[in-house]
């Protein structure tokens, strides 16, 4: 049992240890397998086959397990390290200390989007991109997407989504009429100009690698998803009578049969069922505020 | 799992990147070139194009956008379309509402193949696409 904290409350020593562990994982070659895994399990709902990480009810439990495996590997390097979370409703500016040179590093430069400051800048020597959408070897960002500006989701937008009492609904996909907490948070239901909704818009706002298939190339990925995970915790607290859905495997004549994982079916590539990770308190707690 | 898309490997050749600074941000290009192929088959410059080879699929679009040649072709796969940027495949996925996402824009759908291709160029700038995928058809 350990505690995940808001990144804004980390001490400078904790910031340094987190960065050091992440870079050690990168140097060992292990980090990039998480980048690949995330890309491989991004299946879209307009195609056939099982959907796991996105556009599906397993969005929350799959990412919880994904973060847990990553966090445990970080802890083999430094047992004191846990994943911090980024509350983007509060630390919502490119000037936030989150992006300082002793932590995530700053924005990409104008000419090519290359991050030039901090431990993950290419020139710092510790963060070559080996698995990316393009052949560029440096981390890129485009905070706020200035050519078509977007803003991070607000507290009010998040609160509205948290009001939704139903976890997810048939047909369990990303369609605008698939109502429910999961699809609202994932963020497929709003137009292009806003840059998507909650989770998706944060990816868009960071820009660079965070908008593509290889988004975990940017370490901010973990802090973003730790907050998404905390949002699930908050929703469970608000709706104690609501549960993960679908509870049962879908019937053979359901068009989504074989495409969606129900409560007690395993989530590839992990041999873990959603039911096994519903309660985060068996693994960690969140220090909120 | 039978037909689930698996984006795989695509480890970038670590070969020396050309001297061209790749631009991930939308470039401040002056005058975006758009060289749409005319309906009569003439190229953008008005010159007649070579006839399609037997079995070749005519392009849905073929233009130069921000200095990159983007092409879209009908495709029998689940995506319904194959997109290329400077000849390299841009992997796309179909959403249930008919829109597409691409590997360059995994969190933003676009309603047409052309918009998907242009948006990918907006993100990758002058960088070369590197990720390859396994086709499941």
In 3D space, the residue among A207, A179, A43 whose CA is nearest the CA of residue B4 turns out to be A43
At residue A176, the pLDDT reads 85
The Cα A135–Cα A24 span in angstroms is: 23
Nearest Cβ partner for A196 among B4, B104, B108: B108
Q: Say if CB A71 and CB A80 are below 8 A apart.
A: no
- Is 90 exceeded by the pLDDT of residue A32? yes
Q: Residue A218, CB half-sphere, CA atoms under 13 Å: how many? A: 33
pLDDT by residue (tens digit) across A61-107?
A: 999 999 999 999 999 999 999 999 999 999 999 999 999 999 999 99
Nearest Cβ partner for A46 among B25, B95, B129: B95
What distance lies between CA B88 and its chain's CA centroid?
7
Class of CATH domain A2-287: mainly alpha
For residue A14, how many other CB atoms are within 10 A of its CB? Answer: 17
Helix, coil or strand: residue A114: strand
At residue A217, the pLDDT reads 98
Mean pLDDT check: name the lowest of A107-111, A174-178, B40-44: B40-44
DSSP state of A226: H
Tell me whether residues A192 and B110 touch, CB distance under 8 A.
yes
At residue B41, the pLDDT reads 41
Average pLDDT over residues B78-88: 94
pLDDT by residue (tens digit) across A204-261?
A: 999 999 999 999 999 999 999 999 999 999 999 999 999 999 999 999 999 999 999 9
At residue A195, the pLDDT reads 62
Tell me whether residues B127 and A134 touch, CB distance under 8 A.
yes
In 3D space, the residue among A280, A277, A281 whose CA is nearest the CA of residue A265 turns out to be A277
pLDDT by residue (tens digit) across B1-35?
A: 323 333 332 322 222 233 333 333 333 332 333 33
Q: Which of residues 83-142 of A touch B (CB under 8 A)?
A: 108, 110-114, 129-137, 140, 142
Helix, strand, coil % over all residues of chain A, rounded to 5 = 40, 5, 55
Q: Would you list the domain boundaries of chain A?
A: 2-287
Q: pLDDT band for position B37 (50/70/90)?
A: very low
Q: Say if CB A256 and CB A250 are below 8 A apart.
A: yes
In 3D space, the residue among A33, A211, A27, A31 whose CA is nearest the CA of residue A133 turns out to be A211
Helix A220-238 with A198-206: angle, nearest 10 deg: 160
At residue B132, the pLDDT reads 54
Chain A residue numbers with beta carbons less than 8 Å from the beta carbon of B19 are: none
Chain B residue numbers with beta carbons less than 8 Å from the beta carbon of A129 are: 12
Q: Enumerate residues 6+ apart whose C-beta is below 8 A from B8.
A: A36, A40, B132, B133, B134
Chain B residue numbers with beta carbons less than 8 Å from the beta carbon of A170 are: none
- Is 50 exceeded by the pLDDT of residue A140? yes
The Cα A197–Cα A185 span in angstroms is: 7
B107 upstream amide cis, omega within 30 of 0: no
At residue A143, the pLDDT reads 97
pLDDT by residue (tens digit) across B39-53?
A: 344 444 444 556 677
In 3D space, the residue among B118, A104, A130 whose CA is nearest the CA of residue B108 turns out to be B118
Of chain A, the percentage scoring pLDDT greater than 70 comes to: 98
pLDDT by residue (tens digit) across A184-204?
A: 999 987 666 666 789 999 999
- Is 50 exceeded by the pLDDT of residue B102? yes
At residue A186, the pLDDT reads 96
Helix A59-77 with A12-28: angle, nearest 10 deg: 90
Tell me the whole-structure pTM to 2 decimals: 0.87
The DSSP line for chain B is -TT--EE---PPP-SPPPSSPP--SPP--SS----PPPTTSB-TTSPBPPPPPTTPPPPSEEEEETTEEEEEEE-SSTTSEEEEETTEEE-EEE-TTS-EEETTEEEEEESSHHHHHHHHHHHHTTPPB---EE---
At residue A196, the pLDDT reads 73
ipTM: 0.92
Chain A residue numbers with beta carbons less than 8 Å from the beta carbon of B109 are: 188, 192
Encoded tokens for B14 = 């670590």
Of chain B, the percentage scoring pLDDT greater than 70 comes to: 58
A257 CB within 8 Å of a chain B CB: no
The DSSP line for A28-48 is HT-HHHHHHHHHHT---TTSS
């Amino acid at each position: 049992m350990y505690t995940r904290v808001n990144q804004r409350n980390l001490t400078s020593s904790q910031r340094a240890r987190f960065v050091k562990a992440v870079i050690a994982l990168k140097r060992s070659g292990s980090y990039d397998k998480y980048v690949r895994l995330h890309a491989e399990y991004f299946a879209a709902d307009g195609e056939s086959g099982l959907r796991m990480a996105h556009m599906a009810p397993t969005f929350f439990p799959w990412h919880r397990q994904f973060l847990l495996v990553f966090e445990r590997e970080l802890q083999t390097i430094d047992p004191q390290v846990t994943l911090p979370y980024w509350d983007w409703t509060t630390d919502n500016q490119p000037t936030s200390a989150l992006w300082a040179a002793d932590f995530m590093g700053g924005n990409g430069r104008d000419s090519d989007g290359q991050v030039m400051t901090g431990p993950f800048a290419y020139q710092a020597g510790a963060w070559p991109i080996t698995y990316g959408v393009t052949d560029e070897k440096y981390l890129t960002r485009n905070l706020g997407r200035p050519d078509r500006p977007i803003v991070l989701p607000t507290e009010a937008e998040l609160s509205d989504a948290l009001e939704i009492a139903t976890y997810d609904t048939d047909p369990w996909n990303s369609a605008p009429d698939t109502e429910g907490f999961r699809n609202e948070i994932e963020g497929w239901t709003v137009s292009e100009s806003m840059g998507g909704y909650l989770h998706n818009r944060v990816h868009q706002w960071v820009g660079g690698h965070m908008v593509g298939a290889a988004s975990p190339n940017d370490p901010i990925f973990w802090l973003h998803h730790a907050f998404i995970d905390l949002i699930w915790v908050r929703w469970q607290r608000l709706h104690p009578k609501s549960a993960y859905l679908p509870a049962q495997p879908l019937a053979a004549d359901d068009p989504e049969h074989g495409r969606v994982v129900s409560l007690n079916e395993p989530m590839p590539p992990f041999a873990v069922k959603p039911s096994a990770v519903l309660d985060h308190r068996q693994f960690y707690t969140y220090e909120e505020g | 799992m039978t037909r689930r898309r698996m984006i795989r490997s695509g480890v970038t050749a670590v070969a020396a990147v050309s001297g061209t600074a790749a631009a991930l941000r939308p470039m401040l290009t002056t005058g975006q070139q758009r060289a749409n192929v005319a309906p009569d088959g003439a190229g953008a410059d008005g010159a007649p194009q070579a006839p399609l080879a037997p079995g070749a699929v005519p392009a849905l679009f073929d233009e130069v956008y921000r200095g990159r040649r983007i092409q879209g072709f009908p495709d029998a796969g689940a995506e319904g379309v194959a997109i290329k940027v400077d000849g390299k495949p841009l992997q796309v996925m179909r959403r249930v509402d008919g829109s597409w996402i691409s590997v360059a824009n995994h969190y933003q759908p676009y309603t047409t193949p052309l918009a998907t291709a242009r948006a990918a160029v907006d993100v990758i700038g002058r960088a070369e696409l590197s990720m390859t995928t396994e086709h499941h058809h």
